[in-house]
Amino acid sequence: MKNRIFYSLMASAVLLSSSAFAKGGCELAQVGAMNVEWTAYKTDKKIGVGGTFEGVTYKPVAKSGENFRSILVGSSVSIDTKSVNTKHESRDATLSKFFFEMMSQKNIEAKIVDIKADKSEKGAPRKGTLSVEIEMNGVKKTVPMKYSFSDGLFAAEGVIDILDFEATKALSSIAKECFDLHEGKTWSEVSIGFKTKIEAILCSAKPLEVAK
């Protein structure tokens, strides 16, 4: 009888301590801007032309949370395509007029719908895969994006195909306008990515558990 009481008390103590740890654990917070980047390709040599968007509105699902999932999954961005910036004004104007204005909607919408962590390695950046739902030209596609997290910087990158978004008209338009500059070849493949700062409050960020 005494042994049963003792084990019962021990079990209660373990449960209480586990609960306290969960409530007092890490808090992560996304801080600062969400920087969206892209690289398009031209010529048979597949030369990259990179750029960003200045007009990015980020809507976090939560101000802070205990892991990446709680602060990222459900978060979204709205990208004003007229804010395209390649550090070349005439090229920006060409992209806006002959590509983005050929689309059925002004903005590109994106939302993080899932996250899965790779197995963590001591001393290495934390890595995994995001599933990001992208809506462009009235078409939604879920795109995998590989992420890494190191020294407070969360970065993700992936690849889309413009043709998957039924944007043949837009691609043909920019290809025709830039035929000579692109030497007759404009790729439908575009590399995309984003970067943002994530701070760990009270303790270091712990590895994200793989979703079941």
Q: What is the rounded distance in angstroms from the CA atom of residue 205 to the CA atom of residue 76?
A: 22
Mean pLDDT computed over every residue of the chain: 88
Query: 167, 136 in Cβ contact below 8 A?
Result: yes
How much is the pTM?
0.82
Q: What is the pLDDT of residue 91?
A: 98
Domains annotated on the chain, with CATH: 28-203 (2.40.128.110)
Average confidence (pLDDT) over 40-63: 97
Express each pLDDT in 132-177 by its tens digit: 999 999 999 999 999 999 999 999 999 999 999 999 999 999 999 9
Report the percentage of the chain scoring pLDDT > 90. 78
Q: Is the pLDDT assigned to residue 205 strictly greater than 70?
A: no
Q: What is the pLDDT of residue 38?
A: 99
Selection from 24, 137, 40 nearest residue 91 by Cα = 40
